[in-house]
Each structure stands twice: as structure tokens, then as C-alpha cells.
Chain A
Amino acid sequence: AQTVTQSQPEMSVQEAETVTLSCTYDTSESDYYLFWYKQPPSRQMILVIRQEAYKQQNATENRFSVNFQKAAKSFSLKISDSQLGDAAMYFCALHTGTASKLTFGTGTRLQVTL
């Protein structure tokens, strides 16, 4: 079975600052993918970034980057130069080939303050 754990129910960051959201996971699969999704108040699920487990290089998408530590089964999201529009729920998700489905963490609510 796959599990995804997000230990930070809420986080707060000042505008223009940097924040890191934590995520750990567990799977017995060797081939898997990790995702961060953003869910703003509109409830739409928006893909932020993805990481293939076989890649050692950390994924980066503009102000968003991940710290993927495969041995530790850790997949944190770093948001640089935070903006008010970054305020949302952030979900970490695991996809494995065998299960062919996403397993979500419990989410972290990010507040961005002026």
C-alpha cells in the first residue's frame, strides 16, 4: 500500500519570502512519480510540479522547486518569492505504476501575508 504524509496542516509566509512544504511517502514500488497539486478556494486542482523517481535531478518550475530525497522518501516543495496568489491548499501525491492511481496527502494550507 502507498501512503503520503504531510505533517504541516498550515503554513504561513510573507510575500516575497520563501517557504518549504514537507511531504514524505512510502511505497514498495521502484517506479513511481510524485506530484504537488495546488487547490485554491475555487477548489480546482492545479498541477504545480512533478518528479519522476528515476531522475536524480530535482524538478523546477519557475518559482517552484522540489527537494527529492529518494532514500529518505521525502519530497518537499519550495516556493520562492511567494505571491498572494500562492495562497491555497497544497497536496502532495504519489503515483505508482502498479496501482495506476494517485494517493494524496492530507494537505497543507498555505497563507501568504503582506
Chain B
Amino acid sequence: GAGVSQSPSNKVTEKGKDVELRCDPISGHTALYWYRQSLGQGLEFLIYFQGNSAPDKSGLPSDRFSAERTGGSVSTLTIQRTQQEDSAVYLCASSIPGPSTDTQYFGPGTRLTVL
């Protein structure tokens, strides 16, 4: 079956513009995660969706960042008024929650460059 897909693969934008990043999780995976990986940095958790529960937004770095997940499937991460420090690779992952099924499957990422 298809894995996690993300679009676009690359996005170059100007400072101050808004961007939307899309994630299509594996069908049937109720958990969806967004992470950010900056050059030379580790993986930074952003937000976590689990079924119909309220998302864990504790990792979002500022109120310019938001995410939604429609119909329990596709998710969109929106960054408003982008800044140069937002440049990073944004990774999405999905999983089936459970002690032995919690393996996260990652998409290839979206490389965002803010000029």
C-alpha cells in the first residue's frame, strides 16, 4: 500500500508570505504527527493528532503555526507570515496507536526555504 505522502516536496517563499504544507497519512492510521528538522538540529515535535481527540499542539513554536486534520485523514500545516528561521524540512508521520503497533511511518518531507 501507499506510504505517507507530503506535498510539495520543496517550497521556496518570500518572508512574510503564508504557506500550506500537506500530509496524506497511511489509510487507517488514526495518529498523525508533524515534526520540523532544521539544518544540524534534531527532530522537533510540532503537533499530534489522535483520532477525534483534541490535538496536542504543545510543540508549535508560535501562533503563526497552525494545523488541521480534516475527516481524520489529510492534514495541512499552515505557517503565516513566514520568517527566515522557519526554513527547515517539515516531516509528517502516521501510526496506529498501541503498544506494539505504534511504529511511526514518515513521509519524505517538505523542504521549506524562506528568502
Partners in one complex: no
